Structure 1
Amino acid sequence: MQRPLRKRSVLALSLGTTLLMSACGSSDSGSVDTSAVDRAVAVTIEAPAADSAPPIAPAETDSDTEQASGLLGSYTLMDEEFGTMTTVTVDGDTRTIVSNALPDHETGEFPNDGNPNTISEQDASYEYPSVPTYVGAATFAMTPGVAVNGVKFEPATAETVTCASGETLRVEALQDVYNLGLDFNNAHVQPTGEYHYHGISELLADAYATDEDLVHVGFAADGYLMYFSKSDAYASGYALSAEARSGTNCVGSGALRGADVAIDGTTPDGTYTSDWEWSDANGDLDECNGVEIDGEYAYVITDAYPYVGRCLNGEFTARGPGAGGAPPGAGGPPPGGPPPGGEPADAPSQG
C-alpha cells in the first residue's frame, strides 16, 4: 500500500541554532503557524570545538552534494511521536552516532506474516571517520552505513539456500519469491528488535529532501556520505546474469529453514545475490554504488539493485560477521556466516 509522504521544511540552518523541522511549511515571514503543526522534530546543530575541523559546508556552494545536506556537523534528533532519539557528534576527524534506532517516520505492522519480530528500542552506537580516506578496495560491510535518523542500512539478509553440490545462494530482501515481511519503507525487524533498511525509504528521503536532486540520507561506515537521487540520475552497474543457476539438492535456511528449493537450471531473476553481476559498462556507479560527484566520492542508494551498496571503498573498521571480506556474489554468502541476529536456534532469522 502506498503511504502518504510527509514533507518537512527546514526553517533555519546555522551553527549554534536550534531548528524546527515540521510537517508544515513556513509562512512568508519565516515564522511557524503552530496551530497547523501535527508533529515536530527538534534538531540542534551544535557549534564545533575550536580545534575541530569545520563540519558543515559553506552556505553558498556550487557542489550538489554539499547543498544537499545540512547535517554535516553535530546534531540531536528527537521525535516525540515516534520516539526517535539520535545524537550525532563530530569531534575532529570522528563522527559518533548514538541512537535508539527508532525511525522518525511511520512503519509497517510488526510482527507480520513474513517477519515475526517486534520493533524495540536499541542502544546503538557507531564511530565513523568524518574525514574519509579513499582506498578503492571494495570491501564488504555487513552494515555499510547509518541513516541520518540513526536507523542502520543492512542490505544483505540472513536467509540462504545451500546445495549438496556445494553452492550457497543468499536470498535478497527485495524480491518477489520469498516473503521476508518488509514494510513500505523497504525495512523490517531483526530478532533483536532492531528495525533496519534494506533499500530506500520514501518517507526518509522525503523528510530530508531539499530543492536539490540529491538527498543526504546517511553516513557510510568509511565516512563518505550516502545520497538518494530524486530523479534517479545515477544508474547502477549491476545487471542480471545470463547464465542459468547451478545447484542440486538445495535446502533453505533462516526463515526458509527446511524448505526444498529447486535451483539447478533456473533463470536468474534477482531472487538471489548471485543473480547479479557488475560491470563498469552497465551504469554510472561502481561495485559499491559509489561515484565521484563534484570532485567528492559518495554513495548513492538506488531503486535498482544493489539498492544500498554492499561494500565500501574508503578506510573503515570492519565489524560483525562477514565484514571485511570481498563483496558478496558469485554464488556464496559474505564470508564469516550470517549477519547479526541471523540463525537463532528458537526463531526464524530475518536479515
Structure 2
Amino acid sequence: MTLVLTALTGGAVQAHVTITVDGDQRCITSDGVPDHDTGTWRPGATVEPQDHNFCMDATPELTDTITDRVRISGITVTGIPLRPGTAEYYDPTDERGWSRDPSSGWNVEGMGGLIMDAQNAHVDGDGMYHYHGIPSAVTGALDGTLFGYAADGFEIHYVGADVQSSWQLKPGARESGPGGAHDGTYVQDYEFVAGSGTLDECNGAMVDGQYVYFATDTYPFFPRCFKGTVSEDFIGGRGGRPRRDGDDLPAE
C-alpha cells in the first residue's frame, strides 16, 4: 500500500488540548469538551468537562500478540476519546430490548443500535463525550491525515475512501438471539474477511514501512484490537485480552 500520510506538528492542538512527548511516552491532556456542536441524546444527558490524561508509547513497536476489548481505543488530536464498543447486549426481557446482561452474546453496536449526535458521538453516565464513528467536524478540519493515537501508541489516520475495512456484514439471517437479518445492529453481525478490503483485522496496515491504524467510514470505524503494547490508561476497569497474532478472533 502506498499512501501519503501527513501529520499535525507542534504541542498544543487547540486551547484545551496539549500533546507532549517526554522520553518514550506521548501524553495527551484535555478537558474532553469538543469544539463543535453536540447532542441531543436522552433527556438530561450533557457533556461534562473531564480531566483526560492519556499516555501511550511514543515509539510503538509491533508485538506477536493482539490485545482485544480495550475500553478506550484511542484519542483524537482534539482530545476526545474513541470508544467504539458498548456494554449493551440484546435482552428480550428488557423493555428497551437491551441491557448490560451479556448472556445473549449479542453485543449492541454503538453505530447500529444506540443514539448518536451528528458527529457520531454521545456521552456516558459521567458526561464523558466520546466518538463511536467518524466525526466530520474533526476530519474536515484536519491539517493533514493524522486523526489521533491508538491505545498502543500507533498513529490513527483518516484518508476517507483511500482505504477500506475488511470487516463485512454476514449474509443471511441471524440463527439465534434477536433473529432478523445481519444489519449491523450488533457486533456479531460482522465478520472479518481477509483480503476483502485493504486493512487488517485491527483496521491497520503497513505504510512506507510503518504500521498505522485507520479510522474508516464503515465498521469497525476505529481499531478495536491492537498489535502493540496497550497503555494501562486506555484499559480502565474492563481490561484487555491478549492473544497471539494470527489466532482466531475471539467470540464476542
Please give the range of the TM-score, normalised by the shorter of the 2 chains: 0.7 to 0.9
TM-score for the superposition, normalised by structure 1: 0.62
Secondary structure at the aligned position of 1:174 is classed as helix
Match of 1:144 in 2: 73
d(CA) in 2 for partners of 1:88 and 1:236? 28
Match of 1:167 in 2: 104
Secondary structure at the aligned position of 1:102 is classed as coil
Asked whether the equivalents of residues 241 and 275 of structure 1 are also in contact (C-alpha less than 8 Å), the reply is yes
| AA of the residue aligned to 1:198 | H
Query: Mapping of 1:292-311 within 5 angstroms?
Result: 292-311=206-225
Match of 1:233 in 2: 162
Match of 1:317 in 2: 231
| AA of the residue aligned to 2:166 | G
Query: Which structure is larger by alpha-carbon Rg, 1 or 2?
Result: 1
d(CA) in 2 for partners of 1:115 and 1:279? 39
d(CA) in 1 for partners of 2:61 and 2:203? 17
| AA of the residue aligned to 1:181 | I
Q: Which residue of 49, 53, 70 maps to 1:121?
A: 49
Aligned: 1:284 with 2:215: no
Q: Which runs of 5+ in 2 are unaligned?
A: 94-102, 244-248
Between the two proteins, what is the percent identity of the paired residues?
A: 32
Match of 1:90 in 2: 21
Which digits, 9 at most, give the CA deviation of each residue in 1:159-185, with x for residues without a partner?
211479x5321111112xx4x331111
Query: Mapping of 1:40-59 within 5 angstroms?
Result: none
TM-score for the superposition, normalised by structure 2: 0.84
Aligned: 1:108 with 2:38: yes
Which digits, 9 at most, give the CA deviation of each residue in 1:55-92, with x for residues without a partner?
xxxxxxx9722xx1123x5x12444xxxxx11111011
d(CA) in 1 for partners of 2:226 and 2:250? 18
Q: CA deviation at 1:194?
A: 0.8
Q: Which runs of 5+ in 1 are unaligned?
A: 1-61, 80-84, 249-262, 333-351
d(CA) in 2 for partners of 1:99 and 1:300? 22
Asked whether the equivalents of residues 138 and 287 of structure 1 are also in contact (C-alpha less than 8 Å), the reply is no
Asked whether the equivalents of residues 89 and 104 of structure 2 are also in contact (C-alpha less than 8 Å), the reply is no
Match of 1:156 in 2: 85
Segments of 4+ moved more than 6 angstroms = none
Asked whether the equivalents of residues 24 and 58 of structure 2 are also in contact (C-alpha less than 8 Å), the reply is yes
Q: CA deviation at 1:117?
A: 1.4
| AA of the residue aligned to 2:82 | F
Aligned: 1:222 with 2:222: no
Which digits, 9 at most, give the CA deviation of each residue in 1:197-256, with x for residues without a partner?
11111110111133xxxx1110111111001113x11111111113532435xxxxxxxx
